[in-house]
Amino acid sequence: METPMPPPKSPPSKSSKEPQRIAKLLARAGVASRREVERMIEAGRIAIDGKILDTPATLLKSLHGVTVDGAAVAQPIPAKLYCFHKPAGVLTTERDPKGRPTIYDKLPKGLPRVMPIGRLDLNTEGLLLLTNDGGLKRQMELPSSGVERVYRARAFGPITQEQLEALIEGITIDGMRYGPIDANLERRTGRNQWIEMKLAEGKNREVRRVLEHLGLQVSRLIRTAYGPFALGDLAKGDVLSIRQHDLVKFRQTLK
């Protein structure tokens, strides 16, 4: 009689106490994105028990004893999401070597440490989402998540609705492939017009490059929505906190 084989062992589950890279832990704690944390480590801004950290490969079970610029890092708090109406003329970055104003100069006092989800270039205004959760930031920025962004562009030059509709097939410009764009001509005054564009990739300066490739001069660009979150009548420089219920519901829809 054969001895029955023992059942196969299940793979060990990943414990929350398992050591993780410090950049991942700090991102979850809302300090900064993983990439920005790595830059902070290179700059000598992060320490453990008073010793300056010199490698992002450090593994930790918790953030106990970790400081950033000499200040202790608090334990992670629940993910939060904010809508910010970014004005034109400010950079989507923490600091600028040239001393130009950044979004952090414009944010109201009292906000927790937040990081932008995606970017808006210097002269683009409108909706910029902010979060304290590095995982949510990364998830929303990934093209595979398929989160739609909506822009309105004021542009000068001749264009037809047929030309805009062709963008739904995507377009290649100087070797760079841009995915499908749902573009519609809203209204026209002389050779100036407002164009609405919906896309899910959000490559660097994508809207401007596509419209300039079509022979248009963009004089104003506004992001009006990111996923289900809309700019609405939020005043420039103001911040709106997304309700926790709405954030949880939205995260359930992400791929």
Q: Rounded distance, CA 231 to CA 154, Å?
A: 17
Burial class (CB in 10 A: 0-12, 13-18, 19+), 132: buried
Residue 174 designated active-site: no
Alpha carbons 105 and 231: distance in angstroms, whole number: 20
Alpha helices in 43-84 (DSSP H): none
Q: Pick the catalytic residue from 121, 133, 233, 246.
A: 121
In 10 A of CB 48, how many CB atoms? 15
**Residue type for 199, please?**
L
Q: Which of 99, 87, 84 has the alpha carbon at shortest distance from 124?
A: 87
Q: How far apart are CA 246 and CA 230, in angstroms?
A: 13
Contact 66, 72 (CB under 8 A): yes
Please give the positions annotated as active site.
121
